Amino acid sequence: MSTELESTRRALRDAIAHAERAAELARLLDDAQAKLAAAEERAAQADALAEKLSETEERLAAEQAAADKLRKELAEQRFQAEVANWKLSSIKVARWNRLGDAIKSGKSNPVRLAKGIKGAAKPVKRPTAPKRKPVATTANKPKEERPGAAYQATTSTRTLEGTSFKLKPFRVPTGPNTRPHLTAAVIADPHAEALLRYEWRQTTGFTPRDFARVLPLEVPHLLVVESVTQGPWAEEIIGEPGEGLKALLAWCAERGIRTVFWHTKGDVSAYAAAADLFEHRFTADLTVAWPRLQFGVQPRVHNPLPLSGGRIDRVLTLDQLLPEHLSYPDVLTSYRWPAAADCPPGTPQWRLAEIAACGTPIGTEPDSRRAHVALRRAYSMGTMSERIDEMLDAIGLPSARPTLNTSVLLPIRDPYSMEHALAQVARQSGVDQLIIIGPPEAELRARDVLPDVEVVYRRPSPSMTEGAMLNAGLDLCEADLVAVMDPRDVYGPHYLSDLRRAFLFTTADIVGKAAFYAHLRKPQATLLKQPEAEYTYLPEIAGGTLLARRNAMRELGFADLTEGWDEVLMRQCRADGVKVFSADRFGYVRVRDEDRWLLGAAQLVEYGSAEPHALI
């Protein structure tokens, strides 16, 4: 009996304990539900406040626009009043008006009349006409600096070992865009923003608070978000996704806008939760199992265009080259400044590629040949246009953009130069079409030597000049670019690919070489013409190096001359304002038996072959 009683007591105690725990759980649940209800109420209040804030911002924008309009109208009225006063003052001091006053006041007094006429004959300074002054409006007030906003270099002074150097900053171009048919909304740090901004029409600078008002102004085709570390979006994508990011992605989903997350730096786990909300994810980290999207050089800003003040005659370490707190436009200026950059082991590959693409030798000594090879290698590793092609193909958007397809014009007047000329064309990459004008046997031989190239043959009449042959071939060209190659000269295997590159970072219609190597057979002399003319707009290129946009070349045409057609073309370019760009000195050798003009205009390199110097 006592055993059963004890069991009953123990069961009662356990029941009471369970009941107490259940009551405690119920109380905790009630508290949690109350807190959840309060949180939901606060969230609703926050949404209502956000909606009111958006409405208030819209009303403020409307009121600011109305105020701006009133300011402009008031400024115009003041200007018109100043104009009226100026006209009145001008009339008063006008000679004919002063003569009239003198005659009127002195008509009864000859002495006063004589003095008045004498005074009226003296010149009097007329009042200065008023000028319109700029009206201060909210539209032209300086905007607050936002991450990713486009801006120019601001730091023009560098300090080395206590000495200050004044630089003329590299001016970041505003365009052109590679794909003007495509609009992207981009959230990125300044480095990535600078790489992407030329690939499409780009909208940046919007925040979690105002994106719903900014983005509808030009609805984007895609949203690209980088793993940013600063600015208003950083707290939205690091760790737990913020409500602003969720709202932005919901806004994009409602409109069928593709969303892309691009992990470029930082621990991927810090961004994983936010990245899962995007349709597509890419990474620059080889250890992350997402599709690759590496940094590439951006030809618009990573190019060998020099600073206007030239380079300093010093080799700088990476720390000297890139001191802390430089904005990215200032970094682009620094890339172009030293004679060479001594970069330590472990320097990121993208950084080395950007420095090399700016034409700066990497190492402890300046070396223009090595710098040119490094520049070529940096571009061959991939440009941002090629990277974005890969991304657009992966997410299902068209990646169409202008090409650098090339037609080669090859006029052959001397049959003995045919084999040499065809061998030079066969060396080149990226030739889509060969227009050959020469002896009958040239057609079959060209098809044998260039089996993968479209060959178009025309037989010239005996009286045709070289310019006439080029004009006849120009109408047959179908590619975007037209190259002229001289059968007498030597062209390296990278000649055309190096020359085409200039169209990625210049606004020129014609590219060629004003700086080049030449070889004279009779004296066996190798010469260098105008080494200072590299990478500059200078309408004085050699005709045998001409590479031009087809439409521009069709408008210009070729003079009906055998010798000097290129000089006539250059004069026409100067007269018509056609931009001509002189590229690097490498990849081409002008070959002649003798040339007195060249002997007087170029510097002697050595007696011997020019190819070891030119063909790298």
Task: Please tell me whether residue 346 adopts helix, strand or coil conformation.
Answer: coil
226/224 Cα distance (integer angstroms): 7
3-class SS of residue 178:
coil
Enter the tokens of residue 125.
């300074």
Q: How far is CA 148 from the centre of its chain?
A: 14
Tens digit of pLDDT for each residue in 192-221? 999 999 999 999 999 999 999 999 999 999
Kindly state the helix (H) or strand (E) to which residue 81 belongs, with its residue range.
helix 2-93
In 305-351 the beta strands, taken as DSSP E runs, fall at 315-317, 340-342
Dump pLDDT digits (tens) for 49-58.
656 766 676 6
What letter would DSSP give residue 292? B
pLDDT for position 43: 61
Spatial separation of the C-alpha atoms in residues 317 and 161, rounded to whole Å: 12
How many CA atoms lie less than 13 Å away from 391 in the CB half-sphere? 30
Q: How many CB atoms lie within 10 A of CB 157?
A: 8
What DSSP line would sit under 13-44, residue for residue? HHHHHHHHHHHHHHHHHHHHHHHHHHHHHHHH
pLDDT given for residue 190 in this prediction:
92
Q: How far apart are the first and last CA of the chain?
A: 108
For a pLDDT cut of 90, what percent of the chain falls above it? 67
Instruction: Say if CB 477 and CB 432 are below 8 A apart.
Output: no
Both tokens assigned to 386: 């090629």
pLDDT of 146: 38
**Which single residue is written with the structure tokens 């089996």?**
451
Query: Contact 339/313 with Cβ under 8 angstroms?
Result: yes
Contacts of 174 (CB under 8 A, 6+ apart): 150
Inter-axis angle of helices 495-505 and 368-380, to 10 degrees?
Answer: 70
| 3-class SS string, 393-455 | HHHCCCCCCCCCCEEEEEECCCHHHHHHHHHHHHCCCCEEEEEEECCCHHHHHHHHHCCCCEE
DSSP 469-487: HHHHHHTT--SSEEEE--T
Q: Which residues contact 499 (CB under 8 A, 6 or more apart)?
A: 483, 511, 512, 513, 545, 547, 583, 587
CB 445 within 8 A of CB 468: no
* Alpha carbon 267 to its chain's center: 30
Task: Give the Å distances, CA to CA, from 169 to 152, 197, 311, 336.
Answer: 9, 20, 12, 10
pLDDT digits (tens, 9 = 90+) for 413-451: 999 999 999 999 999 999 999 999 999 999 999 999 999
Query: What pLDDT shows up at residue 275?
Result: 96
Q: Identify the pLDDT of residue 94.
A: 67
Q: What is the pLDDT of residue 82?
A: 77
Ranges in the chain, pLDDT < 70: 1-2, 32, 36, 39, 43-44, 46-51, 53-55, 57-58, 61, 83, 86, 90, 92-99, 101-102, 104, 106-107, 111, 113, 115-126, 131-133, 135-150
pTM: 0.76
> Quick one: which of 163, 202, 160 has its CA closest to 180?
202
Instruction: Look at the block and give the residue holding tokens 């001397």.
Output: 414
CA angle, 542 as apex, 540 and 543 as ends, to 5°? 115
Alpha-carbon distance 416 to 257, whole Å? 61
Token output for 414: 């001397």
